[in-house]
Amino acid sequence: MPQIVFLPHPKLCPEGAVVDAPAGKTLCDIMLENDINIEHACEKSCACTTCHVLVREGFSSLSEASETEEDLLDKAWGLEAVSRLSCQSVVADVDLVVEIPKYTINHASEGGH
């Protein structure tokens, strides 16, 4: 069973976390099941970017991004080559290191800034 290291995030995971995760689940579901309450404004339907994450290690082991996901990622805050939407990223049998960006483009949760 792969192990996922979530790097510290000031609001969602201040201490960071290390969790065992079964292959075949999405990063978003794994986070939610482990009390890391990442936003998912579109209810995990690949229609927003609020669940954007940066996969620092193990990126190539995730399921391939769809064209729709890649188009949405172009709108994500802090886009990097290792960016994925966690609701679309299915975990394989490889350990991962994941960073949750500091901001999203969800103006309701960001206080309209």
Q: In which band, very low, low, confident or very high, does the pLDDT at 97 lie, cut at 50, 70 and 90?
A: very high
108 pLDDT exceeds 70?
A: no
**Does the predicted TM-score (pTM) go above 0.85?**
yes
Sorted by where each starts, the structural domains of the chain and their CATH numbers stand as: 1-100 (3.10.20.30)
Q: How far is CA 96 from the centre of its chain?
A: 11
Burial of 42 (0-12, 13-18, 19+ CB in 10 A): middle
43-84 residue pLDDT tens: 999 999 999 999 999 999 999 999 999 999 999 989 999 999
Q: Is 21 exposed, middle or buried (0-12, 13-18, 19+ CB in 10 A)?
A: buried
Q: What is the DSSP letter of 102?
A: S
